[in-house]
Amino acid sequence: MPLRRLLIALLICLPLAAAAAEAPAAPSPSYRKAEPAVENAARVVPQPFAARYRLEVSGWPSTSVEHRLSRDGGSWHSEMSAAIAVARGEERSRFMIKDQGVRSLQYISGYSLLGLGGDYRLAPDDLAVLPDRQAALFELSRRVIDGTCRDSCDIRYQNHRGREERMAYQVLGPESLSLPAGEFEALAVEVTEPDKPERHLVFHFHPEVPGLMLAVEYHRDGERRSRLSLSRLSLGE
């Protein structure tokens, strides 16, 4: 896996669409019209959590990924960070949960590859139409838990540069998982880029805690290239 794509894969923030230097591709006409992440709102009640994952990437030593969701008054903060070998990355998002879905307020990210990298910010005006990808990941899990999509659906969001991305997802159903953190029931969902059928992600979300991933697998050309699995979990403030 190239280092640039490995760095993005560390964050597991819908990484198939997150290659740092690529503009978004237009969706295939065979896919239904994409709906903004602010529509089809779920009704699941969120709760704070702190999670640690073990990330295994083919050809690289395993590492840890930290993910925290916390509440500050009327807004929520999602933070994710990871580092491996010569690469590191982190993202932070602040958003509100409205009746019609998430509303991003601020997004900050930083990446470093071989000592070179950059910092990115999206202000409220930049996020007026589409959410950032941390908020979109939270909204995706809410949709899956709430059952608002029962077939193949799309979700739109902005990458770290503010470029629109579109992903198709399909709910696969419940699964039982044996993870380093214990035994869990999960809801599985497959996420793909419309024009890259050789790549896909399988997310396993907690069925009662929005935003909490239990496991994520990245597949390419019929092979699993990386796996994220929950190793520690703390619920509540």
CB proximity list for 125: less than 8 A, separation 6 or greater: none
For the entire predicted model, the pTM comes to 0.80
- Residue 16 has a pLDDT of 29
Q: pLDDT-derived band of residue 34, with 50, 70 and 90 as boundaries?
A: very low
Q: Can you tell me the distance from the alpha carbon of 143 to that of 101, in angstroms, rounded to the nearest whole number?
A: 10
- Average pLDDT value for the chain: 78
Q: pLDDT-derived band of residue 155, with 50, 70 and 90 as boundaries?
A: confident
Q: Can you tell me the distance from the alpha carbon of 146 to that of 202, in angstroms, rounded to the nearest whole number?
A: 18
Q: Can you tell me the distance from the alpha carbon of 1 to that of 135, in angstroms, rounded to the nearest whole number?
A: 26
CA separation (Å) from 221 to 30, 45, 198, 213, 218? 21, 37, 5, 24, 10
**Strand 49-57 to 116-122 pairing:** unpaired
